[in-house]
């Protein structure tokens, strides 16, 4: 199982999240920074890092509320991908 650890210390926006996540997943250059593309990449195996995988986001300071809400939506995408593939695909804030 692959484990991706990201540090959210300086994140203020969705763009910061995507700038960290997409390279860590080894996403192709054409991968869009959106939830639909994330789901497709996880389910279709389009990224270099493929399931089973866990993404851990280290949160040492409070994130802006809109970003926190967005990360909850990301967690849902990971849960849907895990359910649809039957593979362990996990996303958590630590």
pLDDT digits (tens, 9 = 90+) for 47-64: 999 999 999 999 999 999
The verdict on pTM exceeding 0.85 is yes
- In the chain, the number of structural domains is 1
CATH number of the structural domain spanning residue 26: 3.30.370.10
Other Cβ atoms within 10 Å of 63 Cβ, number: 20
47/30 Cα distance (integer angstroms): 11
CA gap 94, 82 in Å, rounded: 20
Q: Are 71 and 93 a contacting pair, CB within 8 Å?
A: yes
pLDDT tens digits along 4-56: 999 999 999 999 999 999 999 999 999 999 999 999 999 998 999 999 999 99
> Which three-class secondary structure state does DSSP give residue 83?
helix
The domain of 30 spans: 2-93
Q: What is the pLDDT of residue 45?
A: 87
């Amino acid at each position: 199982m692959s484990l991706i650890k990201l540090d959210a210390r300086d994140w203020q926006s969705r763009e910061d999240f995507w700038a960290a996540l997409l390279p860590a997943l080894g996403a192709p250059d054409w991968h869009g920074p959106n939830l639909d593309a994330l789901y497709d990449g996880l389910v279709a195996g389009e990224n270099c890092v493929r399931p089973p995988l866990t993404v851990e986001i280290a949160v040492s300071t409070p994130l802006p509320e809109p970003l926190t809400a967005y990360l909850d939506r990301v967690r849902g995408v990971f849960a849907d991908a895990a359910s649809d593939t039957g593979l362990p695909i996990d996303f958590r804030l630590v």
